[in-house]
């Protein structure tokens, strides 16, 4: 309840000062985000409880065999997995839903609940490996011992949107050339937020609520990412940490991130039109104080001291 109340405080604060932020045009040349309305439902409408799902490029066999999967993998009729609850504590893969080596088929995972994924280095509630063209939407991916969502090794053109990601060790991680993906409108609470590493570049991270842990968004050795209109609050280490080049950090709202609001350690980044609110105890931590990169553009950011 305390965390939910803090999110409410942040949202109220945003609405009260929304006129501060200037209009800002974002050039986004990434994937086409599908309209999920009017897609086919699985063969039988219902709910299923499973221990795990593993699809190793064999979507057609899965759709032919299981009633919880439908579609043919085309853009107009993607494979759909929905209404599945997975307790992954006994999963042989260590992961709740594991999709790998799926490069050409379109698929959607929606309205699923995944918990108790295991502690292995790559385990997650949902993991995509060497996989493209997926949409993960409206899922509850919470209480997993490693990652909530993990994209690993050349995952491209995937969308992660409108999910609840709570009480995992880490929320969302991209690792090794995971590019041209979208992370939008997720609620990420009480776990490390979003972590991109290993040349995971040209991703779009927008309109997420990331609340209360050590850090909010970290970009490590990854370039050309867009971090736009996120709400990042109550982290004890930093709100946004950038160790990469040419990333755009704009129109974000950073509320009471205790150590640093934004830290930039590499070159040619853009930091504009962000709102930073801190209280008296750490009011002095501002972007300029932690900018160790070169050729970084810093402008039109707003620093406000909270009275609460």
pLDDT value for 118: 96
Task: List the chain residues with pLDDT less than 70.
Answer: 1-46, 279-293, 306-308
Res 32: pLDDT? 57
> What are the residues facing 114 on neighbouring strands?
86, 141
Quick one: which of 50, 133, 124 has its CA closest to 93? 124
Q: What is the pLDDT of residues 248-285, one digit of tens each?
A: 999 999 998 877 889 888 889 999 999 998 755 554 45
CA atoms of 303 and 290, how far apart (whole Å): 15
pLDDT digits (tens, 9 = 90+) for 11-30: 545 545 444 444 444 445 55
Quickly name the fold that domain 2-21+41-305 has: Pectate Lyase C-like (2.160.20)
Would you call 251 exposed, middle or buried from its count of C-beta atoms within 10 A (0-12, 13-18, 19+)?
buried
Contacts (Cβ under 8 Å, ≥6 apart) of 175: 150, 151, 152, 153, 197, 198, 200
For residue range 88-117, list pLDDT tens digits in order.
999 999 999 999 999 999 999 999 999 999
CB 106 within 8 A of CB 130: no
pLDDT of 308? 58
- What was the pLDDT predicted at 26? 46
* Contact (Cβ atoms closer than 8 angstroms) between residue 148 and residue 120: no
Report the chain's mean pLDDT, rounded to a whole number: 86
């Amino acid at each position: 309840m305390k965390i939910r109340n803090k999110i409410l405080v942040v949202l109220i604060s945003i609405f009260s000062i929304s006129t501060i932020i200037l209009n800002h045009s974002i050039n986004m040349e990434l994937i086409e985000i599908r309209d999920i309305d009017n897609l086919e439902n699985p063969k039988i409408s219902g709910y299923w409880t499973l221990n795990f799902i593993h699809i190793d490029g064999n979507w057609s066999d899965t759709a032919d065999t299981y009633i919880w999967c439908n579609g043919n993998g085309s853009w107009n009729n993607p494979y759909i997995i929905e209404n599945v609850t997975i307790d992954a504590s006994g999963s042989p893969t260590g992961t709740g839903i594991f999709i790998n080596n799926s490069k050409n088929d379109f698929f959607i995972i929606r309205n699923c609940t995944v918990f108790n994924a295991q502690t292995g280095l790559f385990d997650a509630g949902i993991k995509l490996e060497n996989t493209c063209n997926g949409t993960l939407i409206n899922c509850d991916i919470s209480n997993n011992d490693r990652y909530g969502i993990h994209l690993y090794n050349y995952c491209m053109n995937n969308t992660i949107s409108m999910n609840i990601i709570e009480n995992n060790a880490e929320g969302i991680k991209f690792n090794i050339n995971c590019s041209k993906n979208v992370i939008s409108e997720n609620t990420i609470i009480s776990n490390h937020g979003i972590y991109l590493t290993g040349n995971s570049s040209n991703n779009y991270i927008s309109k997420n609520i990331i609340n209360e842990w050590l850090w909010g968004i970290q970009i490590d050795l990854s370039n050309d990412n867009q971090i736009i209109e996120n709400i990042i609050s109550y982290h004890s280490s930093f709100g946004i940490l950038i160790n990469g080049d040419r990333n755009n950090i704009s129109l974000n709202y950073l509320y009471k991130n205790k150590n640093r609001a934004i830290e930039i350690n590499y070159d040619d980044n853009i930091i504009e039109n962000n709102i930073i609110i801190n209280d008296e105890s750490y009011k002095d931590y501002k972007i300029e104080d932690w900018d160790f990169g070169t050729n970084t553009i810093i402008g039109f950011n707003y620093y406000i001291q909270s009275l609460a």
